[in-house]
Structure 1
Amino acid sequence: MAATPTGEKTPMPDDLAIHTETIQPVSTAKTDNDIPEEYRAELDNGDITVEALGGTVDDLPAGYYRSFNFIGTITALCFGQISCYFGFVMPANILTIINEDIGPNPNYVWTALIWNLTQAVAFVLVGRLSDLLGRRWFFILGNAIGLVGSIIACVAPNIPVLIVGSAFIGIGAGVQLSFSMVIGELIPNKYRGFGISCIFVSALPLTAFGPVIIRSMVLHTAAGWRWSFYINVIVLTIVVALFYFCYHPPTYEMLHARRAHNVSRWKMVDFVGILLFTAGLLVLLLGISWGGSIYPWKSAKVIGFIVGGAVILILLVVWEIYGAGEYPLIPINLFRNRHYVGVIITAAVGSMVYYSLLVLWPVQITELYDTDIMAVGWKSCVVAGAALIGQGACGVFVRILGKHKLQMIISVSLLTAFTGAMAATTPTTPGMAVTFIFLASVCLGYVENVALTIGPFCLEQADLGLALGLLGATRSTLATTAQAIFETILSNKLITNIPKYVIPAVLDAGLPQSSVDALLAGLSAGNMTGVPDITPAIEAAATEGNKQAYSHSFQIVYLAAVAFGCCGIMAALNAPNSESKFTNIVPRKLHGKGVGKVQEKDAPATEA
């Protein structure tokens, strides 16, 4: 039964009452005094039923956290995190190798681009719509779509087919990386940060050693890189099965106690908003991704797509304000919440550095320090492995230390400092480079977990999915933008720095002026054996000059990253201190026969 604003009880519709009996409510004797104050408004407004609320830990059924449904759900979330590595992170580390195998095709970069695009869109759609309609089928179908993409990638005979598979895998990743929505509902608020870090840590072997594992597959198995997708098919089959049998969160009827029988669920779906958001974000990100890599920034395609995407997103804002009605896809008033905006911008800055390092650090290793395929793989592990350390550390200290604004300011400041320090590295300082990359990655992992933990506390519990979905989409969008900017800076600087440092070196080593163009072409192709008048001394001089060119070019990239870091520091000044939210309250609970027996309570629930 739900309470009206006047305190009277209104009878639950018969069919809803029958439904909740089959899912074993915690206690039909629960009174208003048993409901935590911060969730009583949801009941008073008729938004949810008592059966959907978790209450406090003491209100849950006996053995709830040892139940088949809960353990199966958490296991599914862990395997979903693992799937992200097999489905994208590991293959992305060897895209050039994959292109050599089933290409060559100049469009192979689309394998990574399309994953980022579809993931960004999926974040918001899953977050907002699952808030309104219930999360169960979004997590089942989202992972099933990822499974289809992995099957396509397994058998891809060429790059275009692999790109199609990557698009489906990206949709699945948007769901898998939304695991904090489930964690934020099913465990006590005070353990939210720890729960998020546990999901991150569950993928430890792949996070720490993914580049080495995928390169070992290439060197030592007949199927090579395809094994990454083969394993992902197995992993996602398990994920889909576990979500189907174990994950039974509050249903649509429970989330809309009074309106479920009067308002069609389709009226809660902002179809126009979905169309404008999807089209605008995809068009904008396509233009940004193309710029400086596939097409020049000044090309008509790049400018047209960036401007077109921006115009569509402006139309989205107008629609959400004036035309979307009661259930907009993205309530614009969220952006007046400075605490929330501060958190998502700070998190986005961390992602801008993280995803850029994932792409640029292996290039820096290869060009400056080592060319052996396994050595590059081992050094590439530093970024993701150190980020995992930061995520795990945050899970331990985010509640203990409190002062979350200060935590974000310090961690993003250190991230900026260590990233900027990379500008001081040279071809002769590999140890320094690895150390600074490690420390920067630890800081960005800490920033990410703090944001995922306290971001949803800035909004109502009913908007948990929306809060995390917007956070995820913002991170993906700005990370894609930063990656394009950094790659453009690198390529533009190389255009001037390679002739600046290589030509004088090879001329001093004895190369005739007439052979310079051939040497530059051979250097770019990685093979200088056909250059006229080439000698070992000239080749060594060219290699050393090339290292100097890359070193000075990377310096500018890392200095540019400092500018983004400063934006993150300013955003962190607006982050909230959320100590009062770290309570023993469990916002929602699982249902079904696998969650344990009903535990009746006579005494009112208490907060820890």
Structure 2
Amino acid sequence: MDNDLQGKKTGHRELPKRQVVLTMAGVMLAMFFASLDQTVVGTAMPRIITDLGGFAQYTWVATAYIIASTITLLIAGKLSDMYGRKWFLIGGIAVFIVGSILCGTSQTMMQLIAFRAFQGIGAGAIMGMAFIAIGDLFSPAERGKYVGLLSGVFGLSSVIGPTLGGYITDNLSWNWVFFINIPFGILIMLLFIFFFPQLRPGVRKHRVDYAGIITLILTVVPLMLALSWAGVNYDWLSFPILFTFAFSLAMLLLFIIVESRAKEPILPLWIFRNRIVSVSSLVTFILGFGMFTGIIFIPLYFQGVLGTSATASGGFLTPMMLGLVVGSVISGQVLSRAGGHYRLQGTAGIIIMALGFFLLSRMTVETSYATAVMNIAVMGFGLGITMPMYIIAVQNAVPYSVMGIATSTNAFFRSIGGALGLAVVGSLMTHRFATEFKEGLPPEVSAVVPSEQLSSIIDNPQALVSPEAQDQLRSFFESMGSQGAALFEQLLSTLREALNSALTEVFLVALGVIAVAFIANFFIKEIPLRKHL
């Protein structure tokens, strides 16, 4: 830490430097493990499926965690405004620890999914409360550097998560992917019990908005389910998807009615009349769209187009996340030292991020690893610059009494934007891939491959990402005689070119969406950062 930590005035009393340092250490550790659990499980899933079965429920292990944490962000943020942060943060860690124990002892896939949802409740409270806690400890003028550090921790955990998950699974067992949270969680809990300041927002009696909580859940859960199903389990225009979206929309309208009448709404709608909050929510939504697009589709480019292994393709996310870490730390420092010119800083970050997506869209099957790494780092650096500033801008723009829910709203829209981004660009990629493959397939290949097998390749091009599937396809062609090997290479080349064209469209769509953020950013009102809480 630095001299800013010397005798911080928090609430109504001054905190000693040691207390603030230990509190911040706990906050950063809590953020690290809560965000680590979003990525560390992925590399353990093949082993988990081997032990528990349930391949058809593969994606639900992640989906349950994301849905639960997204909903909890808003609820915990509001309740912390009413009753204080300390015990909600400690409670979130306790739920996270218990959830980790339950996940590690799961005997069936359905148990694991249910326990991951429970664990996600704790993670949502932690990730939302971590940024809110900085608002309790530091004035807006000082928060930038610490929000930047916390954003960097988020990026760092994303970098090492897949590698750590693979190492633990190979050397211990998949159960320890969850059990590793327990000792660190207990340490974090003790730090918060003894050092986190107990700040009470007021002594008046509060009324919990239960109707708002219920309608919020009934809005978000169907929305997230529809976004995860669309284009994967069902067509976008199928009845289950349309019905789920319609139900979510109906619940959203009911939620708005409930919140407009509630005495203490779970989400005070009036905060969106503040232009800084509304514009920041829109921009953060778009940045979530871009961030998750990069995280999911960059490894697919390396594995499917350039032909790297699954492990290596995940490793190529490291430049993006390191760029995010560096960008976040630099952005936070500049924000604190330069007096909070966050509109200019946001514009710079969005431009750099857009440049990164443009460079990604120019990559081909011939692109070198060095060039690809540079392009990815540029995108991550731009994203990192933007991450701290919208949190700071929102916290600086609202009264302390609603800082928790305003900060949580920022994270909530990033999660929703990411879910929408994956659904939309995933469907676009699938459609473009099928079109390009059909148009580019040489006649001599289509003449010898049964139409059913071609359809299977289009629907699930495992030959690009699975060595076993590729070997099976190669054996099929080699059984045709001397021309088989050449025909196989033509097919593989067509698959890679088709996927590259599809990913080009994905990155261009992300670029177009980022352009909307560039325009919206000009409408954010810039006010000086307060030097007091």
Q: Return the TM-score normalized by structure 2.
A: 0.89
Amino acid at match of 2:336: R
Unaligned 5+ runs, structure 1: 1-50, 588-608
Amino acid at match of 2:473: M
**2:279 corresponds to 1:342:** yes
Match of 1:42 in 2: none
Superimposed CA distance per residue, residues 243-301 of structure 1 (whole angstroms, 9 cap, x where no aligned partner): 233323213xxx224xx3xx3x3x2x111111111111111221122111122111211
Residues 543-562 of structure 1 aligned to structure 2 (within 5 Å): 543-562=492-511
Amino acid at match of 2:352: L
**2:206 corresponds to 1:256:** no
1:380 to 312, 317, 324: 317
Amino acid at match of 2:529: K
Superimposed CA distance per residue, residues 327-351 of structure 1 (whole angstroms, 9 cap, x where no aligned partner): 1122211121112111121122111
2:358 to 408, 415, 420: 420
**2:345 corresponds to 1:407:** yes
CA distance, structure 2, for counterparts of residue 419 and residue 205 of structure 1 = 21
Amino acid at match of 2:437: I
**2:127 corresponds to 1:182:** no
Match of 1:393 in 2: 330
The Cα shift of 1:548 comes to: 0.4
**2:517 corresponds to 1:568:** yes
Q: Is the alpha carbon distance of 1:205 and 1:455 closer, same or farther for their aligned partners in structure 2, counting shifts above 3 Å?
A: closer
Residues 223-242 of structure 1 aligned to structure 2 (within 5 Å): 223=173, 225-242=174-191
Once the two structures are overlaid, the 10-residue window that deviates more, 370-379 or 452-461, is 370-379
CA distance, structure 2, for counterparts of residue 286 and residue 498 of structure 1 = 30
Q: What is the total number of aligned residue pairs between the two structures?
A: 508
The Cα shift of 1:97 comes to: 6.1
Residues 304-323 of structure 1 aligned to structure 2 (within 5 Å): 304-321=243-260, 323=261
Amino acid at match of 1:60: E
Amino acid at match of 1:406: L
Amino acid at match of 1:482: G
Residues 514-529 of structure 1 aligned to structure 2 (within 5 Å): 514-515=449-450, 517-518=452-453, 521=456, 524=462, 526=469, 527-529=472-474
Amino acid at match of 1:545: T
Superimposed CA distance per residue, residues 131-176 of structure 1 (whole angstroms, 9 cap, x where no aligned partner): 0111122111112111122112213344322222221222122122
The Cα shift of 1:573 comes to: 1.1
Match of 1:21 in 2: none
Match of 2:466 in 1: none
**Does the 8 A contact of 2:103 with 2:112 survive in 1?**
yes
Match of 2:529 in 1: 581
Superimposed CA distance per residue, residues 47-84 of structure 1 (whole angstroms, 9 cap, x where no aligned partner): xxxx9734xxxx625xx1213xx333222211112212
Q: Identify, as 1 or 2, the structure richer in helix.
A: 2
Amino acid at match of 2:78: R
CA distance, structure 1, for counterparts of residue 320 and residue 41 of structure 2 = 16
The Cα shift of 1:95 comes to: 4.5
Q: Is the alpha carbon distance of 1:424 and 1:205 closer, same or farther for their aligned partners in structure 2, counting shifts above 3 Å?
A: closer
CA distance, structure 2, for counterparts of residue 202 and residue 360 of structure 1 = 22
Q: Is the alpha carbon distance of 1:484 and 1:407 closer, same or farther for their aligned partners in structure 2, counting shifts above 3 Å?
A: same
Q: Is the alpha carbon distance of 1:304 and 1:204 closer, same or farther for their aligned partners in structure 2, counting shifts above 3 Å?
A: closer
**Does the 8 A contact of 2:323 with 2:384 survive in 1?**
yes
The Cα shift of 1:121 comes to: 0.8
CA distance, structure 2, for counterparts of residue 96 and residue 498 of structure 1 = 29
Instruction: Select the structure with the greater relative contact order (CA < 8 A; seq sep ≥ 6).
Output: 1
Tell me the SS of whatever aligns to 1:60: strand
Match of 1:492 in 2: 431
Tell me the SS of whatever aligns to 1:177: helix
Residues 208-357 of structure 1 aligned to structure 2 (within 5 Å): 208-218=159-169, 220-223=170-173, 225-251=174-200, 255-257=201-203, 260=204, 263=205, 265=206, 267=207, 269-321=208-260, 323-325=261-263, 327-357=264-294
2:302 to 357, 365, 373: 365
CA distance, structure 2, for counterparts of residue 383 and residue 157 of structure 1 = 36
Tell me the SS of whatever aligns to 1:142: helix
Q: Is the alpha carbon distance of 1:202 and 1:340 closer, same or farther for their aligned partners in structure 2, counting shifts above 3 Å?
A: closer
CA distance, structure 1, for counterparts of residue 114 and residue 520 of structure 2 = 37
Match of 1:129 in 2: 79
The Cα shift of 1:370 comes to: 3.6
Q: Return the TM-score normalized by structure 1.
A: 0.78
Tell me the SS of whatever aligns to 2:237: coil
Unaligned 5+ runs, structure 2: 1-8, 464-468
Superimposed CA distance per residue, residues 559-598 of structure 1 (whole angstroms, 9 cap, x where no aligned partner): 11122112211221122323x3242x2x3xxxxxxxxxxx
Higher radius of gyration, 1 or 2:
1
